[in-house]
Structure formats: C-alpha cells, structure tokens
Amino acid sequence: MPPTLALILWLVLLLALLLFDPAKDPGTSWALWVPVTWMFILGSRLPSQWLGSSSIQSSAQALEEGNSLDRVVLSFLMLLAIGTLVLRRFNWGRFFRSNVALFAFVLFGLVSVFWSDFALVSVKRWFRDLGNYLTILVVLSDPRPLEAVRALLRRLCYLLIPLSILVIKYFPQIGKEYEFWSGASLFVGAATSKNMLGAACLVSGIFFFWDTVTRWRDRKERRTRRIIRLNFAFIAMTFWLLHLARSATSTVCLVLGCVILIAAHRKVSQRRPTFLKALIPAFFCLYLLLAFGCDMNGNLAAAVGRDPTLTDRTSIWTTVLSLRTNPLLGTGYESFWIGPRLQYVWSKVGSINEAHNGYLEMYLNLGLTGLALLCVFLLSSYRKICRRLSLSSSLASLSLALFAVMLFYNITEAAFRSSLIWVAFLLFAIEVHEPAEDPGGELAKRTNVDTVEPFPQSSFEMMRHR
C-alpha cells in the first residue's frame, strides 16, 4: 500500500473510531481535548519535530534554546487550560490546601532557578512543566471525573498506538532510528526513542487492561461486549509495538501493573485491602535492597544473556555522580544537562540527556531537598490511593497500579518530569474537591445509567462500584 494511501486510511479510521466509539460518552466536555493534545505531544514529538526534519535534534544548543513554535503551541494549550478553569470557577485555595506536598515540591523547583547556572533556561522549563498540572486540572475539575479520565486515556491511546504502527510500516524514516555504533535498527514509532515508545505502550496496556477488567462483569451487555473487543484489539497492538520497541523496563512494569490490577480486583483483596496496601512498599524496599545491595539486576541480566551494566546505565550513574553537584540543593530546576556538565557527560558516555534513574535525576537537579519533597509527595499520594482502595473506588486499582509502576520505572528510567507516565500518574496523585450537590439532578439527566457515580466531597475519593 502506498504511504499516502495508508495515511489517508489511518485518518478515516481514526475519525470513524472517535465518532462511533462504543465507549464514547456524549456528556464529555470538549475541554478534554486540551489535555489530550498536551499528553499526545509528551508521548510523541514536539510540533517542530513533526513539521520539520524527521531527525531529532540532539545538539547542546538545541537542548538549551528550545524552539519558538513549540513554545507558542504549548503556551496556547496552557492558556486554554487556564481559561477552562476560570470558567469553571476552580477553587484554587481549596486545591492548594488539599495538595500541600505537591505545592511544596513545585514551588521548590521554582525557587531553585535562583542558584541555577542557566536561570533563564531553568525558569522557561519550569513554566513549561507547569502545563502538566494545569492540563490535568482540566480533567479533574470535570463534573464527572471518572468518565473524563476514561475518555482522556482512551483518546490518547487511539492517537498514539495506531499512529506508531503507521509510521513504522509506511514511514520508516520517521518510525525507525539506527544506533550510532552498531547500525542496528530501533523502532521508535510516533515517539523519539524506543524508551518513549515503550512508555506509551505501558500507559496504553495498563489502561486497556484495567478498563477490560472493570467492565468484565457486564460483558453480556451488547455495548460492553463491543468495548471489550475494541480493548482486546488495542491490547494486541500495544504488545506488538512493545515487542518491537524492546524496552525491558516498560515490559516488566506492564506485567507488574497487570498483576496488581488482577490482585486488586480479587474478592479477597476487596474485603481485606490492608495486605495489598502494605505489599507494594514492602516489595519495593526489598527490591532496592537486593538490586543495589546484592547487585541482583546485574546478575539477572548476565544470567539471561543481557548487558550486566543495564545497557551502560551503571556507567552513566558513575559519571554523573563524579561531577559532585551541590548535594543539598542540586544544580537548579532542569539545569544539570546544560553547558559544561552536558559536554563532559557526552565525552564519557555518549549523547544522552537523562540519568536513566528518576531518583538520581531529581538529586542532580534539586538535590536531597528536592528528592525529599518528591518522596513526601509520593507518600501523600499513596495515602490518598489507599483511602480509595478502602472505599472500593472505581479508579483505586488503576491508581495503585500506576503508583507501583512509577516507583519501579524510575529505577532505570527518568520519569519524574515532563513524561507521559508522570502526567498519567498525576491524574490520580492530585486531589480535587468539588461540591457534592447536583442542583436539579442535572448530572443524572446527562449521564447514562451505567456510568453514574456519586461524587461526595472528593472527585475520586467516593467513586464506588455499584
């Protein structure tokens, strides 16, 4: 099939899927397209990369300066998000009081620009990343957050997964890259690297698996059967792309997420959720002890014929730590990979722009203070997730799975910044309180019978299974 014809066919099928989606909710706000577009850019490529050359800029100058087109597009999306929140009369005071740990973490990132070697670049990146939180609030402030989350993740996967297959098969100059030294081909799809493609597959796989599990009890209904069949199709496409990407971290985390989803939906776990709540942090601490105390990762990798250095990650960690940055405050928000430090790392381990460890990345940029604030935010988020699990919230199992994925994914990848996985996690880590009242019963009138959820106090906290 000619590439142009394949592109036209993809566009037609995408429009048909969006218009006639069996899971489509007619009450969904058009404002959801703002976070969908934002997350699509995070999970694929910047506008300048889509419209320009197929090669991804990697020069130190490009990393420092950015692109004017990208700034215009991202700024426009942020303004749309702010406008939506203003129209909805979003209660900022109550939001800050409910998310003190997140507010402290984000505020410290802004303060850190004062000791950054590249203050202007640092403050630009902070404002860019502020868009992550603004666009997520558009979803969480929706009158029906459960359906808004479903619609957001479903539309995002509808865009990313088929598009990645399209560019791999018919536009290899976009969907493939080649290793500099070996010349081996790497499948990147609509993303900019195989790890980013793996992250998109990770989010897609967990969402469609969760959506299938939560709908399974109603599989005899005609509409639900159609949704489940569509889910299976996307699960198959996701696993095929993940196989091409060869992203070991995303593959392991996807398996982990699916296991947690299954465990969370077992009747034993629903009756006694305490064991499941304690199991994840205990298992994570045990893994850290074995991985870094007994070199379990290297030994396992060597046993299966893989690189015991985790694809040179241990060399990267040694190199960046040798620069001896300020241990308490770091180099400033997103300032480590700029200037002489970047040139030094490139001279030692090649052209990279992350530490391939989210906790180490946070330490390099914001020091032990930023890392501690991040840990406080993660712990605060886990408490909220555990409350939802005790209340049998519809989103509790997905929240728990994404929390575990964030913990383990950041051991070998850096995702505590502008990444698709981080923003997906924020959907469940941020708490937004909305009024419980429904004047005149308008919510019930606009909602199908099978999607009605109560909304007392918190947007997610009291969503229960029927």
- Exposed, middle or buried, 184 (CB in 10 Å: 0-12/13-18/19+)? exposed
CA distance 11 to 31: 22
Tell whether the model's pLDDT for residue 66 goes beyond 90. Answer: no
Please calculate the CA angle 403-408-409 and round it to the nearest 5 degrees.
95
Q: Helices 222-245 and 194-215 meet at what angle, rounded to 10?
A: 160
What is the average per-residue pLDDT within 417-434?
Answer: 86
> Bridge partners of 176?
187
All structural domains of the chain with their residue ranges: 30-50+66-437
Query: Across all residues in the chain, what is the average pLDDT?
Result: 83
* φ/ψ of residue 403, rounded to 5: -65, -45
* 56 — pLDDT class (breaks 50, 70, 90): very low
Please check whether residue 241 is in contact with residue 274, taking contact to mean a CB–CB distance below 8 angstroms: no
Q: How confident is the model at residue 182 (pLDDT cuts 50, 70, 90)?
A: low
Burial 366-379 (b: 16+ CB within 10 A, else e): bbebbbebbeebbe
Predicted pLDDT of residue 435: 43
Q: Any idea what DSSP says for residue 458?
A: B
For 166-193, what is the mean pLDDT?
Answer: 83
Residue 64: pLDDT band with limits 50, 70, 90: low
Residue 195 has pLDDT above 80, yes or no: yes
What's the pLDDT band for 211 if we cut at 50, 70, 90?
very high
CA 100 to chain centroid: 21
Instruction: Choose among 329, 327, 325, 336: nearest CA to 361.
Output: 336
Question: How does DSSP classify residue 217?
Answer: G
Read off the pLDDT of each residue in 136-154 and give the average, rounded to a whole number. Answer: 91
Nearest residue to 131 (alpha-carbon basis) of 442, 423, 459, 448? 423
pLDDT in tens, 297-336: 655 545 444 554 455 678 888 889 988 889 999 999 999 9
The share of the chain scoring above pLDDT 70, in percent, equals 83
Nearest to 202 by CA among 246, 257, 158: 257
| Alpha carbon distance 395, 209 (integer Å) | 13
Q: Distance between CA 95 and CA 99 in Å, rounded? A: 6
Question: How far is 14 from 443, CA to CA, in rounded Å?
Answer: 29
Give the pLDDT confidence score for residue 248 in this predicted structure: 87
441: pLDDT strictly greater than 70: no
**Cα 183 to Cα 4, 177, 186, 277, distances in angstroms:** 28, 9, 9, 46
**Choice between 63 and 279, residue whose per-residue pLDDT is larger:** 279
Q: Which of 235, 250, 180, 239 is nearest to 412 (CA)?
A: 250
Pull the structure tokens for residue 16.
């048909």
Reduce the DSSP state of residue 393 to 3 states and report it. strand
